[in-house]
Amino acid sequence: MYQVQFSDGMIQDYSANHIAEAISAVVNNEGNQFVLIDEILDYHYMKEAITPEQAWTVGSNGNCHRIKTTKGCQLCVRWKDGTTSWETLANLKNSHPIEVSRFAMDRNLLQDPAFVWWAPHYLATMHRIVSATKA
């Protein structure tokens, strides 16, 4: 176990395996480093995004099911290299799920159709990992 201090001063304990996985997630076999998120600045919904009223569908058996889509949502990201860009939620959800989930929680977006079906799961998983690590 190692104590890791983050840039905001927070210190957490991580196993060597977790640290190695984090490093391998941002560096490829040739040693090239991927661009990392510095901060998610903003979000907006485009016209093709579904509304809360459109977020449910009725199946052939008559049961209601949530539509699982991130379509039409974009996030403005500032990268560690100082550049900013608008990225689709679908791409960021797959590449940076924890950061996007925390952004959604901070902005009270966890009940929006684009976030409700996946972000709470990542936050709960993250909480369980941190709790287990501390134990």
Q: Report the Cα 122 to chain-centroid distance in Å.
A: 7
Where is pLDDT greater, at 20 or 65? 65
Please report which confidence band the pLDDT of residue 94 belongs to, taking 50, 70 and 90 as the band edges: confident
Name the pairing type of β-strands 64-66 and 56-58: antiparallel
Mean pLDDT of 39-53: 94
Q: Which residue has the tokens 């979000």?
A: 43
Burial 12-46 (b: 16+ CB within 10 A, else e): eebeeebeeeeeeeeeeeeeeeeeebbebeebebe
Q: What is the pLDDT of residue 24?
A: 65
Cα–Cα distance between 80 and 92 in angstroms, integer?
Answer: 15
Q: What is the pLDDT of residue 43?
A: 97
Residue 107 pLDDT exceeds 90: yes
Of the listed ranges 3-7, 52-56, 84-88, the one predicted with least confidence: 3-7
Mean pLDDT score of the chain: 85
**Identity of residue 50:** I
Cα–Cα distance between 33 and 42 in angstroms, integer?
Answer: 25
Q: Specify whether the CB–CB gap between 80 and 37 falls below 8 A.
A: yes
Residue 113 pLDDT exceeds 90: yes
Burial 97-109 (b: 16+ CB within 10 A, else e): bebbbbbbeeeeb
Mean pLDDT of 99-112: 95
Q: What is the pLDDT of residue 25?
A: 61
Q: Which residue has the tokens 């991927």?
A: 34
Domain parsing of the chain, residue ranges: 1-34, 36-134
